[in-house]
Amino acid sequence: MELKTDFSLKAFNTFKVEAAAARYVRFDSENEIVDFLGRNFLDGQRRLVLGGGSNLLFVDDFDGTVLHPLLKGIHVIKKERQHVWIRAMAGENWDDLVAFAVASGWGGIENLSLIPGSVGASAVQNIGAYGVEVKDLIDRVEAISIHNPEKVRFFPDDCRFGYRSSNFKGRWAGQFIITAVVFKLSRKPDFALAYPGVKSAVEKLGAMTLDNVRQAIVSIRQSKLPDPALIGNAGSFFKNPVIDGHALCGMLKLNPDLPHFPQGDDRYKVAAGWLIERCGWKGRSMGRAAVHDRQALVLVNLGGATGLEILELSEQVNGAVQAMFGIELEREVLVVR
């Protein structure tokens, strides 16, 4: 365990904005967490559980305590003929887990290749990409309750996973520290290739193998999404709005090429990146913050931007989408003040 005060979070957020935490605690084991919480160090303080920092925008210093579980380890805990269960600790890098699963020949999470962030955050956020959401692979989530430091387990039905959401992000926010996630993967992969462009990208590489699917996803992502190691960003800044069939019909009359994806129940997800591009914001900058030039749903730090500058840019973009399409975009990124 490591405890620091007035600690810079610049290296711990992928937007690479400057922000200091009044207190920062790094944990390397479950016991350290239980011990720390048991001593009531947090009494009344604001707190933030940090993962890979890839879905956060700090717009100010954080005057509470940042709790950073960096627990490591990936273990196979059960094997059956069709499936394997792997327990990954929350501080593992998400893509390292995907690489490990693919190299082992276990299918299910290969479409989630290269998503930045930690294993713990994958469950908070219900990460998703290219037709797969992590909720469908989660067997259980292990956590420690902050108020009453004991280990708890949650099953998918408890977590209310939705589109980039879960109880951990909603009504349980700030109540648990996720310590590990158990994933149920397939020993005989069943590929998810329905998302536009995925199947053809794999076919270009050759055989339908886990390795080729991973490689195809990596190249699709690299062709559109900025690498946070090179340019500060947090992936999609907004969620894709979900509208009903009536509203979609109205929009399609004026914009027949609007990309949309049926969600069941007469609901349709429409591409926010397309809406933003249509408003003329793709590639535009405001000071040191910009809308990415290859994927308008991603905002980037051109270098030295403050969190507030990025937030202000996002508000301009949202205002433009509202004015043109009457749709208010919801942030995917968590704004921390």
Residues that bind ligand EPU (CB under 6 A): 129-130, 195, 224, 235-236, 239-240, 259, 271, 273-274, 277, 282, 295-297, 332
Nearer to ligand EPU, 210 or 329 (CB): 329
Nearer to ligand EPU, 210 or 298 (CB): 298
Tokens 């949650």 appear where?
154
| Strand ranges (E), 174-248 | 176-186, 232-236, 242-244
**9 contacts 20 by C-beta, under 8 angstroms:** yes
Least distance CB 15 / ligand EPU (angstroms): 12
Q: How many residues does the chain have?
A: 337
Strand order in the sheet with 74-79: 74-79, 83-89, 176-186, 138-145, 151-154
Nearer to ligand EPU, 39 or 294 (CB): 294
What are residue 286's DSSP bridge partners? 289
3-class state of residue 47 by DSSP: strand
Tokens 């303080």 appear where?
45
Distance CA(128)–CA(136), nearest Å, equals: 10
Least distance CB 265 / ligand EPU (angstroms): 18
| Catalytic sites, residue numbers | 164, 236, 332
Distance CA(317)–CA(8), nearest Å, equals: 29
H-state helical runs in 111-197: 119-125, 156-159
Nearer to ligand EPU, 56 or 71 (CB): 56
Nearest to 179 by CA among 14, 64, 27, 21: 27
